[in-house]
Amino acid sequence: MRHPRGKSVKVSDEGLTVDLVDGRTITVPLGWFPRLWHGTPRERNHFEIFADGAYIHWPDLDEDLTAAGLLAGQRSGESPKL
């Protein structure tokens, strides 16, 4: 079984959208990830996709997500208030 791999990311004020290399698109509420929710637009749009698309990292916000976790509906375990 192949692991999901992201190829592009879009972050809006309301949601996080990741296009996968297999053609699927994942969209989740930004509120699931308090670090992204509380980040500025500049911080939200400064990300890196690495490990052949398996991981997405926001260095300014110290946030790391996986394509597999997003696909499984995993939310952050952090408090929404930060």
Q: Residue 42: give its domain's CATH number.
A: 3.30.2020.40
Is residue 37 included in any domain, yes or no?
A: yes
Spans of the chain, pLDDT less than 70: 1, 79-82
pLDDT at 41: 96
Question: Do 9 and 18 form a contact (C-beta atoms < 8 A)?
Answer: yes
Is residue 15 included in any domain, yes or no?
A: yes
pLDDT at 77: 81
pTM of the full structure: 0.90
For residue 48, the number of C-alpha atoms closer than 13 Å in the C-beta half-sphere is 10
Q: Could you tell me the residue range of the domain that residue 30 belongs to? A: 6-71
Is residue 1 included in any domain, yes or no?
A: no
pLDDT at 2: 78
